[in-house]
Chain A
Amino acid sequence: MTAALRFDPIRLPPECEQLRKEVRAFLAEEIAAGTFDPHQPNREDTDVPEFSRKVGARGWLGMTWPKKYGGHERSFLERYVVTEEMRVANAPTRRFFVADRQSGPVLLKYAPEHIKMEILPRICRGEICFAIGMSEPNSGSDLFAAKTRATKTDGGYLINGTKIWTSSAHIADYMIAIFRTSPPTKENRRHGLTQFLVKMKQPGIQVNPIGQITGQYEFNEVVFTDHFIPDDHVLGEIDGAWKQATSELAYERSGPERFLETYYVLTELVRAVGNNPDIRSAEGIGRLVAQVHTMRRMSVSVAGMLQAGKEPVVEASIVKDIGTIWEQQLPHRVRELAAFVEETATNRETLEKQLDFAIKTAPKLTIQGGTTEVLRGIIARGLGLR
Chain B
Amino acid sequence: MAESDNIVAETAEKIFADLADAQTINRDKKDEWKAPLWQALTDAGLPLAWVSEDCGGSGASLAEGFSVLSAAGRFAVAVPLAETMLAGWLLAQAKIASPGGEMTVVPASPRDRITVNADGTLSGRARGVPFAKVAKHFAVLASDARGDLSIALVDAGKCRIESGLNLGGDPSDVVTLDKVQPVAIKPAPKGFDQARLMLMGGVARSLQIAGALESMLEISVRYSNERVAFEKKISKFQAVQHNLARLAGESAAALAAATSAADAIANATAFNDEVFLEAVAAKIRCAEAAEKGGAIAHQVHGAIGFTIEHILHRYSLRALAWRDDFGSDSYWAVELGKLVAQRGADELWPLVASR
Contact = CB atoms under 8 A, between A and B. Distances in A.
B337 A281 contact: yes
Given A268-B345, A279-B334, 17 more contacts: A11-B355, A267-B345, A267-B346, A271-B345, A282-B333, A282-B334, A282-B338, A289-B340, A294-B253, A295-B253, A297-B260, A298-B253, A318-B252, A322-B252, A375-B245, A379-B245, A383-B221
A273 B264 CA distance: 29
B352 A277 contact: no
Contact of A383 (B245, B285, B338): B245
A202 interface: no
Interface of B: 1-3, 214, 217-218, 221-222, 224-225, 235-236, 238, 240-242, 244-246, 248-249, 251-253, 255-257, 259-260, 262-264, 277-278, 280-282, 284-285, 288, 329-330, 332-338, 340-342, 344-346, 348-349, 352-353, 355
B244 A286 contact: no
A285 B3 contact: no
Interface stretch (A2-10, A46-54, A193-201, A214-222): A2-10
A380 B218 contact: no
A108 B244 CA distance: 36
Contacts of A274: 341
Nearest to A8: B259
Given A270-B344, A275-B342, A318-B252, A286 B335 contact: yes
Contact of A315 (B225, B246, B252): B252
**Secondary structure call for the A interface:** helix
Nearest to B261: A9
The 10 closest A-B pairs by CB, nearest first: A282-B337, A286-B333, A286-B337, A286-B336, A380-B241, A271-B345, A7-B256, A379-B245, A376-B245, A290-B284
Contacts of A270: 340-341, 344-345, 348
B277 A12 contact: no
B251 A5 contact: yes
A279 to B, nearest CB: 6
B285 A290 contact: yes
Contacts of A298: 252-253, 256
Interface string A265-303: 011101101111101011111110111111111100100
Interface residues of A, number: 59
Nearest to A293: B281
Given A277-B341, A315-B252, A385-B244, A286 B284 contact: yes
A9 B225 contact: no
B281 A385 contact: no
A86 interface: no
A5 B255 contact: yes
Contacts of A11: 263, 355
A20 B352 CA distance: 13
Of listed B1, B255, B353, residue having the most chain A CB within 10 A: B353
A6 B255 contact: yes
Given A1-B218, A4-B1, A276 B341 contact: yes
A304 to B, nearest CB: 12
9 contacts: A1-B1, A7-B259, A270-B344, A270-B348, A286-B340, A321-B249, A383-B221, A383-B241, A383-B248
Max chain B Cβ within 10 angstroms of own Cβ: one of A273, A287, A290: A290
Contacts of A7: 252, 255-256, 259
Nearest to B280: A290
A184 interface: no
B218 A318 contact: no
A384 B248 CA distance: 12
B64 to A, nearest CB: 15
A301 B345 contact: no
Interface centre among A9, A291, A384 (most CB of B within 10 A): A9
Contacts of A156: none
Nearest to B344: A275
A270 B343 CA distance: 10
Nearest to B254: A294
A7 B242 CA distance: 21
Given A2-B217, A277-B341, A289 B348 contact: yes
B256 A301 contact: yes
B141 to A, nearest CB: 24
A281 B2 CA distance: 37
A294 B278 CA distance: 9
Contact of A285 (B255, B332, B340, B344): B340
B352 to A, nearest CB: 6
A385 B241 contact: yes
Contacts of A385: 221, 224-225, 235-236, 240-241, 244
B221 A289 contact: no
Interface string A79-94: 0010011001000000
Contacts of A286: 280, 284, 332-338, 340
Given A282-B333, A318-B249, A377 B284 contact: no
A310 interface: no
Contact of B248 (A5, A276, A277, A294): A5
Contacts of A356: none
A284 B253 contact: no
A386 interface: yes
Contacts of B333: 282-284, 286-287, 290
Nearest to B278: A293
Interface in A336-386: 373, 375-377, 379-380, 382-386
Among B240, B256, B263, B341, max chain A CB count under 10 A is at B256
Contacts of A287: 284, 288, 329, 333, 337
A2 B342 contact: no
Contacts of B2: 4, 6
A299 to B, nearest CB: 9
Contact of A9 (B214, B263, B344): B263
Contacts of A9: 256, 259-260, 262-264
Nearest to A375: B245
B344 to A, nearest CB: 6
Given A282-B337, A282-B341, A292 B217 contact: no
A362 B255 CA distance: 27
Contact of B349 (A267, A283, A290, A383): A267
A12 B355 contact: yes
Contacts of B222: 2
B244 A289 contact: no
B330 to A, nearest CB: 6
Contacts of A315: 252
